[in-house]
Amino acid sequence: MNAAAKVEDDNVTKLAPAQPVAEAPAQPVAAPVAMAPEPQRAAPKKKRRLGRFLLMVALPLALLAGGAYVWVTGGRYQETENANLQQARISVASDTAGRIVQVGIADNQLVKQGDLLFVIDPEPYRIALAQADAAVAAARLNVEQLRAAYSQATAQEKSASSEVDYAQSQYGRAADLAQKGINAKSSLDQARNDLDKAKQQLAVAEQGIVSAKAALGGNPDIETDKHPTVMAALAARDKAAYDLAQTTVKAPAEGVIYQAASFKVGQYVSVGTPLFALVETGDTWIDANFKETQLTNMKPGQKAEIVVDTYPGRTFEATVKAIGAGTGAEFSLLPAQNATGNWVKVTQRIPVRLELTDPDAKMALRTGMSATVTVDTGVARGLPSIFGNATAGEHAQ
């Protein structure tokens, strides 16, 4: 009994502090009143939902409108990354054979037009030129001899003609005497024989004149240097002088020497054998391969912008020079045959050549560089029903 009473006392003791909590409702009843406005918060939630809905609808509409605007106003600028910068390359070779005695360039050296590249041993060509000069002098002397021979043939013809006249007179006199019976018949035969000899000598002399005249080119008064023999000797002399001049090779244009690391003094070169390359920095263009669908409004003369991968922050101005005659597949080594039955339509590319209009840019660029080309065709897609006339007018301008 005492134990049970003690437990009850303890429970009473534990429950005793809870009485003030039970008496808490006796405090002011303000808390339940503060929770009363909860039904009024439903309005902001509806507004927030409406804003989210409008935002969800407006964003796709804005994207759709922006995409439509870009599509309608786009198409004016045609761009491709399939483009490379090109520069003219000259394969330097020698017009004469010989051993190199002087080299004036090095690999990757910048040269100007007229700079010395190399020199071939000129001594054999100097000797050949001296021989050609001697041949010219001999030809001129020969012409003078032919002219003298013509004069001699003319003199012989005159002498033979006089002999014929004398023999003719002697024959006539002998014939008269023989007719009168004063002279013997043998004297007449002798006179006739002398006349025949004189005529034969005259014919030989006349033939000598023809031969001497033919040796002078048919014109006895021809100038010495106009004679065919002298002209041939002069041509040979000019060829020897040309060969001597070609022993000194100079740069044909401004550019950069390439692949000349092994070109040294003492090397023997043959005629026409490529020795090294000269890349012309003054002749620079862009070959851009556009899709065939991008060439609808592209024409020569249109402006373009070039961005080279080497200089990503720099833009070079260019002009469309020409559009290729056909696609790359048409001019390939093995053109595609579409009649096999295994045909798949593939958008073809056509090369377009662009000319750089910035002269300072040519020195900073090198052949083979990759580039991005953007051509301003001046014609946007537009809406055919609304902007068709305006677009056509803009294109006409």
Assign residue 258 the CATH number of its domain: 2.40.50.100
144 plus 218 within the same structural domain: yes
Angle at 394 between CA 388 and CA 397, to 5 degrees: 145
* Residue 165 within a domain: yes
The whole-number pLDDT of residue 6 equals 44
| Bridge partners, 376 (sequence order) | 77
Single residue among 243, 266, 299 that ends a domain in this structure: 243
Number of domains composing the chain: 3
Q: Is there a single domain that holds both residue 311 and residue 285?
A: yes
Q: Is residue 15 part of a domain?
A: no
Residue 371 placed within a domain: yes
> Does 370 lie in the same domain as 298?
yes
Is residue 198 located within the same domain as residue 294?
no
Whether the per-residue pLDDT at 22 is higher than 70: the answer is no
The answer to whether residue 295 scores a pLDDT higher than 60 is yes
Same domain, 115 and 219: no
Q: What is the DSSP letter of 39?
A: G
Does pLDDT of 138 surpass 60? yes
Same domain, 106 and 134: no
Residue finishing a domain among 274, 290, 316: 274
Specify the CATH number for the domain of residue 368: 2.40.30.170
Please tell me whether residues 181 and 260 are part of one structural domain. no
The whole-number pLDDT of residue 142 equals 92
In a domain, 270, yes or no: yes
Does the residue 233 lie in any domain? yes
Residue 168 placed within a domain: yes
3 pLDDT above the threshold of 60? no
Q: How many residues does the chain have?
A: 397
233 with 130, same domain: the answer is: yes
- 285 and 387 belong to one structural domain: yes
Q: Which residue has the higher pLDDT, 41 or 68?
A: 68
Find the helix packing angle between 123-180 and 185-215, rounded to 10°: 160
pLDDT of the residue at 187: 77
Give domain status of residue 33, yes or no: no
> Distance (Å, rounded) from C-alpha 365 to C-alpha 308?
9
Highest-scoring range by mean pLDDT, 26-35, 79-88, 207-216: 79-88
pLDDT of residue 47: 65
Residues 269 and 161 in one domain: no
**341 located within any domain:** no
Q: Are residues 175 and 213 in the same domain?
A: yes
Helix (H) or strand (E) holding 371: strand 370-376
The pLDDT, as a whole number, for residue 18 is 42
Q: Which range marks the domain in which residue 270 is found? A: 90-122+250-274
pLDDT at position 327 is 85
State whether 149 and 209 are in the same domain.
Answer: yes
Query: Whole-prediction pTM value?
Result: 0.62
What six digits make up the tokens of 248? 């000194």
